[in-house]
Structure 1
Amino acid sequence: MAHSDLFAQRTKAMKASEIRELLKLLDQPDIISFAGGIPDPAHFPRDAFAKAMSLALDETSAGTSLQYAASEGYGPLRTWIADYMQTLGVTCDIDNIIITAGSQQALDYLGKLYLDKDDTALVEWPTYLGALGAFNAYEPRFDRLNAGENRTPDEIQNAARAAGGCVKFSYLSPDFANPTGKTLSRTERLAVLAQADALDCAVIEDGAYQALRYAGDDVPSLLALEFAQKGTLEACRTIYCGSFSKTLAPGLRVGWVVAAKPVIAQMVLLKQAADLQTATINQIAVNHVARSVFASHVETLRGVYGARLAAMLAALDKHMPDGVTWTKPQGGMFVWVTLPKSVDGRDLLEKALDARVAFVPGSAFYADGATTNTIRLNFSMSDEAKIDLGIARLAEVMRKAFLQ
């Protein structure tokens, strides 16, 4: 039997994640990997999680932690998130919050919730490839999110209608974006919100890296800016996706969504149909750890990762040949490198692996895959000495193979 003959047509748009494939290289100890957007396991709050798991499994708690629970999520954790969002300038209650299995699941749910076939999703160019993968399953059309550009909202919407649908949402990561590391200014964020109002579409704000700022001043989130404009979360079109993966630990798969109650109510139905709930014991453990060490742990990460970012920027400046440029983020986990137009990032990776250096070619982050002379470098997993060595190796590969 040829099972593939029975697969739904939408499966043809599904592709293996280049990042997930490259993560297999981490098992090779001689590889200097700048590939995955992975927190350094040396800095997981292991002791805090050990204590939290013990508390979750004691005689009085095990009946809750090992049991089915509400699809919306663990109440005390949602209360912590509501308090945390208040510090970001957003007033909400737990009915505005759903817990998801990481923010990746949230993106899948939101794609399912909003996108009919041939609808348009506005995305940054380039954008997070996990979002492209999540949305692709629902067969959308992708268009560039460039608020404030020459195209009018009518022109954007007319193009969407000509393709057979309409603009359903804008998706972006405004703080230290994956893959570019760029942060939108307050003015740029307001332009995104104004464009969404004109298009009457939703805004999906990916806040995965917002807490990881190492320099410069905080910029209010899109949701905070819209909340300040409209005065109530129920009037806001922004949907905020948060995650504990980059701050506490990714393996537990705990993220959250904050949005107007009708959005959350519909996402609860999707959750019930998909997996019933996020693992109760994981939510309880994250709640304990967030309440005990979140602020101090994030401050530690800022010191560690900030030093590594500085080391990568210094190494790029020291080693890279002429014609190569890169972003200079103030936070997050990534630096985006633009190569001479004659250099394909995928060809460079093939040769760099021979020199025992890995990264992600940039074409995977473009909805059309057309731009090939870019690469994404991660700095969170390597210490300063390894970063300098890896960038030196990469620069030497460029010189020998492509820039002679």
Structure 2
Amino acid sequence: MRRLWLLFAQTVTVALALYVVVHAMRPDWLDRPAPRLVGGTAASPAAVLQAPPQPVAGSYREAAGRAMPAVVNILTSKALRQNHPLLRDPFFRKFFGDRLPREEQLSSLGSGVIVSPDGYILTNNHVVEAADEIEVVLADGRKAPAKVVGTDPETDLAVIRIAAKNLPVIVLGRADQARVGDVVLAIGNPFGVGQTVTMGIISAVGRNNLHINQFENFIQTDAAINFGNSGGALVDTSGNLIGINAAIYSQTGGSVGIGFAIPVTTAKSVMEAIIKSGQVVRGWIGIETQDITPELADSFGLSRESGAIIAGVVRDGPADRAGIKPGDILLAVQGKAVANTSEMLVLIAQLPPGQKAKMTVIRKDRQSTLDVMVGKRPRAVE
């Protein structure tokens, strides 16, 4: 009898020890609901085991669910006038003969992001430029005509507006905190197939000298971006907007894993300026510059490899009147150091026209500071 009790006590002890180990190491084994037995029907008489709902590890469904309602499709149309080349095409005339239409509608697809309950939508300038009519299709299926509030070709951004109620609005994120390796989602309407979400990481930040826009500070991502994604949202894993998808690098026209988005910080400042005055006003002093390369530094006998060489000065422009001359090296704008021409362009663009700004230059190894009356940057030709 004593032996039986001893065996029982040992069994209970081992069972309790196993329970403690499992509870500590794999608690999900203990909490997992039992499969549910589903009875047979006339179509399927056999009973089957149905797994209970389970949380999906590593899913970004919550982020996508927050952002997708605020991403819209944009349809644009442009009238074909009587002198349009297509109307003179022999193949086209074969079908219409002498009864050529005065205008035909061509539609294109793009994307946009609702950023305000007042109906303001951010998109790319190249999506809406030269459009005669714009129609926005919301994620819930509603359609609304849109009007262009303003465009900024130099950043390839545009703001359009619709008159609709109960609009879903995206939350603006912090693009300045984005780092290489962060997971991001790209949302848009590629090739017109409908709203689509793709995933990738941030491949690089601060990309410039791509000769896509005049002012470049792109977020690079390998999330698939294709034709129709332009103007769509690049969001973080919380569903917050960190960029407006703008361009891809591709030799085939499809995504090869190199896409570029305009940071939301840039998009927000451009949007606010457009809403306030209908355009973005930037500073300008009338100079052409060139980066200082090691080769140029050796050629000119320079002791530094940062700054921007003044390659040309607009006659009677702000810089010319202030005494800046070709060959000068621009070191700082309003006390902020100039590392290269891209930084210089941004620093000067941020200056308010009509006010004086201090420019620090080196001329023949002699440093001096000049006061320049900032002008208004001429608007880019669209």
Scaled by the length of structure 2, the TM-score of the pair is 0.25
User: Whose strand proportion is higher, 1 or 2?
Assistant: 2
Work out which of the two has the higher radius of gyration on C-alpha atoms and give 1 or 2: 2
User: Whose helix proportion is higher, 1 or 2?
Assistant: 1
* Higher RCO (CA 8 Å, separation ≥ 6 residues): 1
Scaled by the length of structure 1, the TM-score of the pair is 0.24
